[in-house]
Amino acid sequence: MTTETAALYFGEVVHERQRPKKHRLRYNVFSMLVDVDALEPLSAAHKLFAYNAPALFSIRDSDHGTRPNLTMAVWARQELERAGLKEAGHHIDVLCYPRIFGYVFNPLSVYFCQAERGSISAIIYEVHNTFGERHSYVIPVNEAARKIIRQTGNKEFFVSPFIPMDCIYKFRVQPPEDVVRVVMRVEDTDGLLLAASFAATRKPFSDRLLLVALLRFPLMTLKVMAGIHWEALKLWRKKIPYLNHSPVTPKSSSGTQKPG
């Protein structure tokens, strides 16, 4: 990974459901990659971006983490320490959507956690649902990891009323360089149920490109939430079984690194 404190990634999100009926969606989006320890100077250096303050684009600590009153940096390092991965907290970049006009919904934020030697040693997958709940999966990356990181974790958090809990996640990640790619396969005992992916190209973090992002995606974060409900309506109309939700306490869980 590069040593820049921030970048923009322009790309697309694709979801493909296989069963019980096929369903596909595709949206153009952009994400920010930011160093969790450099948010204050990043805010000071840009007119269109702010950290924990109102701005056209912003990131707030309260939008992330599963424990209140912690900064993103402190929360992420506590999650790593709880998972026995303290050494992975030397440098942490998070890939996420920013607030736009004060609003954001992040279905998935990905924290790339590096040890002092500079290699990615762990990834935190922070999942949000539309019920206002969050859950994080903290998964180590072993020394033998290749260009594509493959990891697995048991599904322990209610996300969609159209996906049962008895599933596993299989992550395939190409860490952010000139491009980034995050694929999450949801599988049950019958095999692949759904595959979701984000693939994007890196651009510099600048006020000019933030303005370009605004012109291309003026209400992107609102559209993310609206799109989730619109696609849910289409799934309901296809008579895909609807599962009831029970509130949960935010927590974190671990997974495993797959070889290769």
Contacts of residue 84, Cβ cutoff 8 Å, sequence gap at least 6:
none
Each residue's pLDDT tens digit, 162-196: 678 889 999 999 999 999 999 999 999 888 988 88
According to the model, what pLDDT value does residue 259 have?
45
Instruction: List, for residues 33-76, the tens digit of each pLDDT value.
Output: 999 999 999 999 999 999 999 999 999 999 998 777 899 999 99
Whole-structure pTM value: 0.88
Q: How many domains is the chain partitioned into structurally?
A: 1
Is position 236 within any domain? yes
Domain that holds residue 128: 6-258
**Is 1 part of any domain?**
no
Mean pLDDT (the chain) is 86
- Most distant CA atoms of the chain, gap in Å: 51
Looking at beta carbons, which pairs linking 132-136 to residues 24 or more positions away fall under 8 Å?
A: 133/157, 133/158, 133/247, 133/248, 133/250, 134/65, 134/66, 134/250, 135/66, 135/248, 135/250, 135/251, 135/252, 135/253, 136/66, 136/79, 136/251, 136/252, 136/253
Asked, for residue 221, whether it belongs to a domain, the answer is yes
b/e sequence 37-56, b meaning 16+ C-beta within 10 Å:
ebbeebbeebebbbbeeebb
Residue 152 and residue 171 in contact, taking contact as beta carbons nearer than 8 Å: yes
Predicted confidence (pLDDT) per residue in 1-24, tens digit: 555 789 999 999 998 887 777 777
- For 107-146, the pLDDT digits (tens) are 999 999 999 988 899 999 999 887 888 999 999 998 656 6
Q: Which residues of 92-118 are buried (b: 16+ CB within 10 A; e: fewer)?
A: bbbbbbbbbeeebbbbbbbbbbbbeee
